[in-house]
Amino acid sequence: MRLTVACPYIVLFGLVALATSWSTAHAETSKIAAPPKYVTFDGQRLNLAWQNENPELPIAEFIPEGETLEKWTQLASIRRFPEQDDAQALAQRTVEGVAEQYPGAPTNLQSDPDGSDAVIEFIVTPPDDSFAEYNLFRYAQDPAGGVVAEQYALRGYGNRQEFLDGLTERRQKLLDEMAATGLEAPAAKK
């Protein structure tokens, strides 16, 4: 089952999204384009590894060549919320969900004061401390309608402190890139 692959925060994120995306009427969901075959971020190419087929909450996940969804070191995702219209509110609900699921987990929410975008970052570890995971999300209005969340995550196995020390050196660059450009995908062919 797919959920056994994902870390618990992804399950949490899905529950937050589902709880906030129910429509009072069964409105027709707009057509959403197929995800790109790959995205780039931080100079890395990540290839499409999985996508769901749910038009109400489409998700696509990307990892580097040679890695698996069971054990990865970098993961990107694109999540679309066609029924949402407030990117900053969705980002805030995600931060609240992380705090509830992982009490004491460091979180940071940065909202664009002049727009509707928001960027969040947080670090989580599973109960068995088998890895540490840094997550960076950018929430913005989706040109197709609704809200789109772009994620970039780094996961370190083994020595947690070594992973966190390395993250300290990279964190601001990653945060700046996510805020400025988000994930980059190849242009769609017409």
pLDDT bracket for residue 8 (50, 70, 90): very low
Residues 104-118: tens digit of each pLDDT: 999 999 998 877 899
What is the pTM (predicted TM-score) of this model? Answer: 0.83
Residue-range domains of the chain with CATH: 40-180 (3.40.1000)
Residue 73 clears pLDDT 50, i.e. is over it: yes
Q: What does the pLDDT read at residue 92? A: 96
Q: What does the pLDDT read at residue 125? A: 92
DSSP codes of every residue in 15-73: HHHHHHH--SS-PPPPP-PPPPSEEEETTEEEEEEEE---TTS-EEEEE-TT--SSS-S
Q: What does the pLDDT read at residue 95? A: 97
3-state secondary structure of 83: coil
Contact 183, 78 (CB under 8 A): yes
User: How are beta strands 44-51 and 107-111 bridged, if at all?
Assistant: unpaired
Q: What percent of the chain has pLDDT over 90?
A: 69
